[in-house]
Amino acid sequence: MLTKRIIPCLDIKDGRTVKGVNFIDLRDAGDPVELAEIYARSGADELVFLDISATEEKRKTLANLVRRVAEKVNIPFTVGGGISSVEDVDILLKNGADKVSINSSAVKNPDLINELAAKFGSQCITVAIDAKQVNGEWLVHLVGGKVPTDINLFQWAKEVEERGAGEILFTSMNNDGTKEGFANEALAVLSSELNIPIIASGGAGNMQHFCDTFIEGKADAALAASVFHFKEIEIRDLKEELRRNGVEVRL
């Protein structure tokens, strides 16, 4: 059985780690290089680094900050934000990223998924999907959640898989920052319809929420930010609790 992964997320704005609620009201959460080093030592399985304003501000992810983080960690490291070409990915991988995450650019140019998977391998390509439940339907949103579309989450996820993505990072905008739990019903649908790993994001508030998303949501990995950044949950404690609940994790 594949072990479930615990993934801290470093949302970066202006070179600092930030965290908000429902994608707004951002507050400072510390230095990303220091946090990355702490997480690598404390049992995180992977790290995700998202330059959350890169797409909106039409600039590229901070490659030198990626390099500084990569020098401090010995676990897989995914980078996203403002990636729209083979050249962007090449720069990030050369600066120490193990995988890249694309979001808005994939929706605007779906062929980019095929292109990147062919060039770098599916295992390097994560497609992040930010979606919000509106009148009962899960709809994809772009540019850090600021631009709504009429694209259905589940249809888009299926297309993403068919185009060669190696995994999907699904963030529920409804749940993000609320600390009331992950969107497990939507996650369970994604997991049942797709064959690639699904990373759950948005809503972690306590250890039970992680148990629930692995057991009820069938997620392959769970990503969280503030509960780790502000030391509300220690990763080793979380993994021991997951083990006690029958969830296989790497200790």
Residue of 11, 51, 176, 220 marked catalytic: 11
Alpha helices in 95-206 (DSSP H): 104-108, 111-120, 153-162, 184-193
The phi, psi pair for 128, rounded to 5°, reads: -90, 135
* Tokens 């290089």, located at residue: 33
In angstroms, rounded to a whole number, what is the distance separating the alpha carbons of residues 153 and 67? 33
60, 77, 114, 161, 216 from 49: Cα distances, Å: 13, 7, 23, 22, 27
Active site residue 90: no
Q: Which of 51, 130, 176, 220 is catalytic?
A: 130
The answer to whether the CB of 96 falls within 8 A of the CB of 66 is yes
| Distance of alpha carbon 170 from alpha carbon 29, whole angstroms | 22
At which residue do the structure tokens 């259905």 appear? 152
Told to judge if 130 belongs to the known catalytic residues of this protein, a careful annotator would answer yes
| Residues designated catalytic | 11, 130
